[in-house]
């Protein structure tokens, strides 16, 4: 059966002499691995569609759970993300989340739309750390592991101050905190609340310094890596930014 789907290339790996496997995040099928035959030949016309962050209308042959590339029409390249190392790593955080922490063959249209908007914001010169934070908060929510920022994970009460309670895997108030807790800066928490669910095109209105955005991303990093999974490109981004 032949299918067409809008998809974003997350990464590609060489296979045999002239082939590649392209990992796509697609609108209709979620994450899928696609066999691209002969794509490494000099004469291959479809080379572009294995480039990381290529967004296209992919035409695929689908037999069982296997997909083979037939054709592709590029919709947007996002290629210039590579011209700025911070924007590039921000995009890598997004790609890593999709590649490593979503299930294959599970369509999640909300996540597809989030991804596209986040990548578009990155090429449109919106503050890359704010875009990353905005994406991660949405990603956690879609994955069912939202970072709860408005009340204590243990007693459910609102508090003036919170810590990241590693034992409980969330933000706790001073009364509930366990021994294994990390301080959270109120400004980092405030920026998380501010960005949570905001339209990407409104991110330009957020006035948060680099330091506060880094604090907030650090909070996300510690939160997710302690209880769920570690996003390697996020730790790289935090070193670079």
- Over the window 147 to 166, marking each residue x when it contacts Zn ion by CB under 5 A and - when it does not, the resulting string is -----x-xx-----------
Choose the stretch contacting Zn ion; rule: CB under 5 A; options: 12-20, 91-99, 126-134, 169-177.
Answer: 169-177
Q: Is 184 in the site for Zn ion (CB under 5 A)?
A: no
Minimum Å gap between C-beta 158 and Zn ion is 9
**Residues 158 and 150 sit within 8 Å (Cβ to Cβ):** yes
82, two tokens: 């590579």
Of 209, 215, 205, 207, residue with least CA distance to 238: 215
Q: What minimum distance in Å lies between the beta carbon of 53 and Zn ion?
A: 42
Residues in CB range of 4: below 8 A, 6 or more apart: 57, 58, 59, 60
Q: Which of 20/177 has CB closer to Zn ion? A: 177
Give the Cα separation of 58 and 44 in Å (integer): 16
Q: 66 to 105, contacts with Zn ion by CB under 5 A? A: none
Number of residues that bind Zn ion (CB under 5 A): 5
**Smallest separation (angstroms) from Zn ion to the CB of 133:** 25
| Position among 23, 147, 163, 176 found at the interface with Zn ion (CB under 5 A) | 176
Q: Give the shortest CB-156-to-Zn ion separation in angstroms.
A: 7
Query: CA 96, CA 20: separation in Å to the nearest integer?
Result: 19
Taking the least distance from each CB to Zn ion, the nearer of 11 and 168 is: 168
Cβ distance to Zn ion smaller for residue 151 or 212: 151
Q: Is 213 in the site for Zn ion (CB under 5 A)?
A: no
Footprint on this chain of Zn ion (rule: CB under 5 A)? 152, 154-155, 173, 176
């Amino acid at each position: 059966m032949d299918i067409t789907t809008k998809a974003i290339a997350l990464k590609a790996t060489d296979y045999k002499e002239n082939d590649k496997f392209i990992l796509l995040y697609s609108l209709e099928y979620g994450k899928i691995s696609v066999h691209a035959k002969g794509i490494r030949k000099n004469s291959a016309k479809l080379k572009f569609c294995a480039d990381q962050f290529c967004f296209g209308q992919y035409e695929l042959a689908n037999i069982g759970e296997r997909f083979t590339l037939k054709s592709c029409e590029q919709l947007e390249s996002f290629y210039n993300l590579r011209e700025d190392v911070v924007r590039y790593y921000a995009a890598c955080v997004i790609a890593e989340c999709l590649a490593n922490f979503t299930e294959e063959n599970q369509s999640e249209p909300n996540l597809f739309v989030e991804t596209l908007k986040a990548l578009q914001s990155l090429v449109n010169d919106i503050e890359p750390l704010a875009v990353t934070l905005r994406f991660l908060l949405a990603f956690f929510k879609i994955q069912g592991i939202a970072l709860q920022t408005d009340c204590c994970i243990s007693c459910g009460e609102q508090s003036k101050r919170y810590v990241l309670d590693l034992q409980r895997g969330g933000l706790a108030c001073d009364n509930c905190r366990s021994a294994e807790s990390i301080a959270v800066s109120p400004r980092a928490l405030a920026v998380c609340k501010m960005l949570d669910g905001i339209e990407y095109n409104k991110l330009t209105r957020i006035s948060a310094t680099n330091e506060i955005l880094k604090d907030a991303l650090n909070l996300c990093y510690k939160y997710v890596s302690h209880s769920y999974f570690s996003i390697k490109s996020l730790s790289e981004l935090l070193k670079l930014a």
